Every structure is written in structure tokens, then in C-alpha cells.
């Protein structure tokens, strides 16, 4: 599916369309990229087992800013997944279990449809698991209470991603240890911070808080370092 629209992904470390983010700034930023009043946005809550609570929270946070719908895969009601997803302006993926989400997507061919959507210029975005999934790899709690490496992401973006960098104390040391051991380097984002990619290039870091930070995390001279990325504060 060819398009003149750029391929765009916004990976959030936390926040977004959530009660835990008191600012609507990240959501407004994502919706604004669509370039149309009240864009069509689909919420994909697979990682949270199609949680009704997450669905209601998403719709409440959106209010009347967009024409919103959601895609359930545990109790599937949409026959034509391809047509449904390719009719959106924005596809937003919620948090939860990244590994389970990816497995379910692959059973339903959602992974292939999302690549087609990306290549068509439909904006892809998500938080936590919904941020990790676009990369080759990520730091996740999908496999139990301890953080662990996840490989086999969608791979639209190279490298790895670690969300919740400021709010979960074990995130930073785990990511550093993994990268030092040969895990793909990548990006880390605090809650309330997003990474905006056009194609596979990071073009902007955004934050809904004045203290939010993001980092390029990479090996250097036998150690793992956090290279700060200066965010644009969304007022």
C-alpha cells in the first residue's frame, strides 16, 4: 500500500491516554500528527488482555478529541482486521504483557497488517508494551516478576527500548547489564516522555513533564552509558 505520508512511530515510556498522566499533552501531540480534525484512532489493548478498564480509561481521556474505536482479539468481533486497521489515522497500543501481545498478533496476522499500516503512513503509537513492540528488542516483565530481555519484536525500528526508566528502580541496572552483555543498544524513556520516529530516525523527544528525560543507551569502553536526549516540553 503506497503512500506519500511519512512512516511515523511514537514510543512512550509511560503516560499518554492515561489517568496516570494528568496532562493531555502527549495525546494531543499524537493526534495532531494526523493533520485532520477529530482523527480516527484505534486503541489496541491486547497486552492488557483486552481490559475493559483500560478501554474505558482510553475513551475517557480522549473525550471528543477524536473518533475512537478499539480492537479486541480475545473476544474478536471484527472480521476484516486489515480493512479495519488500515481505515485509521492513528493506531495506539496499550501496555501490559509484550510477549503475549506479540504472540497473539502473529496468530491473527496483526503484525503484518501493522507493518502495512506503518508503510501507508498511518501513525503508530503506544505506551510501555505498546512502545517496546515496534523495536527489535526490549526490557520487559512479560516472563515473570523480574525484568528480562525480550527479542523478536516487530522490528520496524532497530535496537531496543526500555520504558518506565524513572519510575521502576530496576529498569536502569537491568538495561545496563543486558547491553553490556551484548543485548541490542537502544533507547530508554521516563514516564511522560515519548520518542518520535520518522522512518527509522529519531526526530524529536517530547515530554509532558518538565523533569521527564530520555536516553540513548549504548556500550562504551567496557561500560554501558546513558546519553541524554533533550526533550521538548509540551506545555
Distance CA 12, CA 3 (A): 25
Mean pLDDT over 163-185 rounds to 97
Rounded to whole angstroms, the Cα distance separating 90 from 65 reads: 13
pLDDT value, residue 4: 82
Q: Are the C-beta atoms of residues 162 and 186 closer than 8 Å to each other? A: yes
The answer to whether the pTM exceeds 0.75 is yes
Q: What is the pLDDT of residue 1?
A: 42
Q: Which positions are annotated as active-site residues?
A: 128, 164
Handedness of CA 8, 186, 130, 136 (dihedral sign): positive
Give dist(CA 153, CA 173) in Å, integer: 22
Quick one: CATH architecture of 8-233?
3-Layer(aba) Sandwich (3.40)
Contacts with 122 (C-beta within 8 Å, 6 or more apart), sequence order: 5, 85, 86, 88, 89, 90, 91
- Mean pLDDT across the chain: 96
Q: What is the pLDDT of residue 20?
A: 78
Amino acid at each position: 500500500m503506497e503512500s506519500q505520508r511519512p512512516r511515523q512511530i511514537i514510543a512512550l515510556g509511560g503516560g499518554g491516554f492515561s489517568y496516570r498522566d494528568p496532562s493531555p499533552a502527549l495525546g494531543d501531540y499524537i493526534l495532531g500528527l494526523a493533520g485532520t480534525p477529530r482523527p480516527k484512532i484505534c486503541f489496541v489493548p491486547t497486552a492488557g488482555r483486552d481490559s475493559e478498564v483500560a478501554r474505558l480509561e482510553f475513551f475517557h481521556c480522549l473525550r471528543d478529541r477524536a473518533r475512537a474505536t478499539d480492537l479486541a482479539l480475545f473476544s474478536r468481533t471484527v472480521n476484516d482486521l486489515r480493512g479495519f486497521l488500515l481505515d485509521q489515522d492513528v493506531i495506539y497500543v496499550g501496555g501490559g504483557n509484550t510477549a503475549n501481545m506479540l504472540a497473539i498478533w502473529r496468530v491473527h496476522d496483526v503484525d503484518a497488517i501493522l507493518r502495512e499500516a506503518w508503510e501507508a503512513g498511518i501513525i503508530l503509537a503506544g505506551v510501555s508494551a505498546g512502545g517496546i513492540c515496534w523495536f527489535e528488542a526490549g526490557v520487559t516483565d512479560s516472563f515473570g516478576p523480574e525484568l528480562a530481555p525480550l527479542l523478536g519484536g516487530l522490528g520496524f525500528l532497530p535496537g531496543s527500548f526500555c520504558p518506565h526508566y524513572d519510575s521502576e528502580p530496576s529498569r536502569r541496572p537491568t538495561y545496563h547489564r543486558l547491553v553490556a552483555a551484548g543485548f541490542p543498544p537502544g533507547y530508554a524513556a521516563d514516564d511522560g516522555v515519548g520518542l518520535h520516529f520518522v522512518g527509522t530516525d529519531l526526530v524529536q523527544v517530547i515530554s509532558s513533564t518538565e523533569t521527564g528525560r530520555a536516553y540513548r543507551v549504548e556500550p562504551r569502553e567496557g561500560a554501558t552509558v546513558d546519553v541524554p536526549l533533550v526533550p521538548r516540553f509540551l506545555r
